[in-house]
Structure 1
């Protein structure tokens, strides 16, 4: 009907010897397509789940301006290259790669799609269309150590590590330093499981650490298996990525969790308004609200809570840095001198244990 009216108006104008300027038809802007690639299932209770919660918050915040999608259970192999390539070919203009091991496949695909923006978590390689982002995990693990050091009865802590990459090494070292800041007798026992998500391996590692005398175990893996083990054996544990207290209300003392939504909303807005750029490395922590501590267990004594809160406030203000010297490695060699802070080059390539951690770093 509208087209008929316009046509009739045009005929009248032509008959009258007039020229007519017809209004251009209005089209709704296409939503920005945003994709997320996940290592594990969205129901893992930890890392992947938190990213997907943030994706949903992103949708709620930006509404019809965007359209999101995700692919879960994508291994850190050549198969991930296929997934990234397909998402870019499908018209996704912003793609978040949410695991360290996607770094090399992402580099290849980004070169093929220069008009697509890629964001990679915990990596270190950027490009004109690749930006890297990561939480200041070490702040949360330092605070976990502060609680563990005050609550342990055996002075022995445990750590379930995924892979000995710098971001994970920073966490075990920082937790140990946090514990030693309140309890110089602390020793740390690590077990490396060479996986991000395998509840069976994680449970076995937790059982082994508890059997070796660790009465407070932290993890840098994705399932709540260690929380469940501690609950059954009457010891303590700490969650990562998500609050896992529902799996062990007596066992979990606290945990370091992430709220990725603020970052995802900010970066997506940059793409929408044309201000996004690559070749960046962004680190957010407690101050920015990306690192969020899980609620403290009510069994923690008030004096221990006060120490925790004081150190948390100093981390937020910048008065406290987990890697301020003096720091020795577990062979007794001074690695960071008193009055100085670990340099960025060392921080970004950290591959040694601080004093108090048993054993040697796996190759």
Structure 2
């Protein structure tokens, strides 16, 4: 059974947080006397049908799999900033022994709270800071971008894709680049035009960005934002698009070519089980299609036979290790060679990516 707590209700309870601090530090004792409390904090609503939705699907799977061994709580719509730290601290003082914080901007608040509660376990998605009681986990979304970029290269008639960007951090830039590199392997003249909305979830801004891109002759839309609004605009205009984090076909049955699906379910079960049996240890993992954390949704009616075959080949080659989306030669959008032939960007280099590949207009 889950506790569903609003951000407002959670923050109202922080007035007496100092008195409860020692309870959180000794949370391990409380956990030994009952089910493991597992807390989740989401940057958007669970009804976004994208990022936060898929994390909540994972939480529900955790409950279904481990049953009475766990009791979960989630807080949705938490802004990245001071609110996040207060909510994470409140989760720590509310009987949770394991806490998952699921957005990049929660990284520093999670690190600070983890230092205050050394006997509790914290896990942060998409970040890079860790500690003995703070683990990090991420999905190789860029692998999925290579698959959908391949499809875009085959399907687009204008050779122009529109990309609705959230915030320009390396993870998002990486996805734009992987998408464009894959499309240009099919059509060397392919270009990707990016509009930034500076938000993970804002359907109004996402829709406006999609309209602007469609007005610029983009006939395929991709996105790193969490609502189905861009896809809905593609559907209304007779264009194509891709679902983000979740299969969004219900919102655009004709427009959706496929979707990159984030699957956190098995990871959440394995980490909660480790906390229960005492084997939990900090780590930093980055899983992709090979491990099943990144999946490709069924293809829509707009995917041609040639696009389907090419996409399946790209997917198989990434899973087998035969190819990598960032295998050289690669030039940036100013014509400078960034990756020579025969070389592949390392994980460290990918996580610092702050440049665009050839063909990106941003």
Q: Is 1:313 aligned to residue 320 of structure 2?
A: no
Task: Please give the per-residue CA displacement for 1:267-321, whole angstroms capped at 9, x wherever unaligned.
Answer: 111111111112x211111111111111101232212211111111111111110
Distance across 2 between alignment mates of 1:234 and 1:301: 16
Aligned with 1:253 (options 254, 257, 281): 257
Q: Aligned-pair RMSD on alpha carbons?
A: 1.0
Distance across 2 between alignment mates of 1:344 and 1:202: 30
What is the DSSP-based 3-state SS (H/G/I as helix, E as strand, rest coil) of the residue aligned with 2:318?
helix
Q: CA deviation at 1:254?
A: 0.7
Q: CA deviation at 1:29?
A: 4.9
Aligned positions of 1:15-26 closer than 5 A: none
Q: Is 1:285 aligned to residue 276 of structure 2?
A: no
Distance across 2 between alignment mates of 1:115 and 1:326: 47
Distance across 1 between alignment mates of 2:69 and 2:221: 44
Aligned with 1:112 (options 101, 111, 116): 116
Q: Is 1:189 aligned to residue 210 of structure 2?
A: no
Aligned with 2:213 (options 206, 209, 216): 209
Partner of 1:330: 333
Task: Please give the per-residue CA displacement for 1:19-50, whole angstroms capped at 9, x wherever unaligned.
Answer: xxxxxxxxx95111101001111111111111
Structure 2: any 5+ residue segments left out of the alignment? 1-31
Aligned positions of 1:3-82 closer than 5 A: 29-82=33-86
Structure 1: any 5+ residue segments left out of the alignment? 1-27
Whether the 8 Å CA contact 2:165–2:225 is kept in 1: the answer is yes
What is the DSSP-based 3-state SS (H/G/I as helix, E as strand, rest coil) of the residue aligned with 1:43?
helix
Structure with more helix by fraction: 2
Distance across 2 between alignment mates of 1:171 and 1:179: 12
Partner of 1:22: none
Aligned positions of 1:124-203 closer than 5 A: 124-203=128-207
Distance across 1 between alignment mates of 2:225 and 2:342: 33
Q: CA deviation at 1:343?
A: 2.6
Bigger Rg, which one = 1
Q: CA deviation at 1:344?
A: 3.0
Aligned positions of 1:255-274 closer than 5 A: 255-274=259-278
Q: CA deviation at 1:62?
A: 0.6
Stretches of 4+ aligned residues off by more than 3 angstroms: none
Distance across 2 between alignment mates of 1:138 and 1:344: 12
Task: Please give the per-residue CA displacement for 1:206-226, whole angstroms capped at 9, x wherever unaligned.
Answer: 000000011001000000000
Whether the 8 Å CA contact 2:146–2:314 is kept in 1: the answer is no
Task: Please give the per-residue CA displacement for 1:161-195, whole angstroms capped at 9, x wherever unaligned.
Answer: 00110111110000001111211110110011100
Distance across 1 between alignment mates of 2:261 and 2:212: 25
What is the DSSP-based 3-state SS (H/G/I as helix, E as strand, rest coil) of the residue aligned with 1:181?
helix
TM-score (norm 1): 0.90
Partner of 2:233: 229
Question: What is the total number of aligned residue pairs between the two structures?
Answer: 331
Q: Is 1:297 aligned to residue 300 of structure 2?
A: yes
Partner of 2:350: 347
Partner of 2:94: 90
Partner of 1:358: 361
Distance across 1 between alignment mates of 2:259 and 2:82: 33
Distance across 1 between alignment mates of 2:61 and 2:244: 20
Distance across 2 between alignment mates of 1:340 and 1:145: 21
